[in-house]
Amino acid sequence: MKVILRQDISSLGKAGEAVEVKSGYGRNFLIPRNMAVVATKGNLKAIDEIKSQNELREKKLRTEALRLKDKLEKLSLTYDVLVGEEDKIFGSVTSQNVVDLVAVEGFKIDKRNVILDEAIKSLGVYTIQVKVEKDVVANVKLWVIRKE
């Protein structure tokens, strides 16, 4: 059975592609969940419309992501920590701490999108990567300072 995908499906393909699937999978899963339509002559002509809509949506998401990236890169976050001997901090600075600091500045990000190479366990200046979109990454500056 030949179907046209209405959305991206990792095991099959991208939205707008015409793919061959087993008839039970298409009839019982893809079509009822509005993930695909049967590939008729009229629907094959509609592929171009679906593709153009997806391109517009992706372009809009990308411009929003780039705008957010620019705003995030202008931030300079400061995190106060309690310090022991040799400027070693108690505990570590986690991705949740970074999310909380960014939220104070008015931005909402998910802690899974904060990329920490290693745990931050000492004072200093760090550059932390925040994944905004699938291929857009912002570098945020974090200052870990001693709590007075």
Give the model confidence (pLDDT) of 56-82 as tens digits: 998 999 999 999 999 999 989 999 998
Secondary structure class of 24 (helix, strand, coil): helix
Tell me what the pLDDT averaged over the chain comes to.
89
On whether residue 43 sits in a domain, the answer given is yes
User: How many distinct structural domains can be found in the chain?
Assistant: 2
**88 and 54, same structural domain?**
no
**49 and 9, same structural domain?**
yes
**CATH (domain of 46):** 3.40.5.10
On whether residue 129 sits in a domain, the answer given is yes
On whether residue 108 sits in a domain, the answer given is yes
- Which residue in the block uniquely carries the two structure tokens 């960014």? 102
Task: Please check the confidence at residue 21 and state whether its pLDDT lies above 80.
Answer: yes
**90 and 52, same structural domain?**
no
On whether residue 67 sits in a domain, the answer given is no
* Mean pLDDT on 74-92: 86
Q: 125 and 140 in contact (C-beta within 8 Å)?
A: no
Each residue of 96-114: pLDDT tens digit?
Answer: 999 999 999 999 999 999 9
Euclidean distance between CA atoms 124 and 141, whole angstroms: 11
Which residues, including other chains, have CB under 8 Å from residue 20's CB and lie 6 or more apart?
Answer: 1, 2
Domain extent, residue 121, equals 75-146
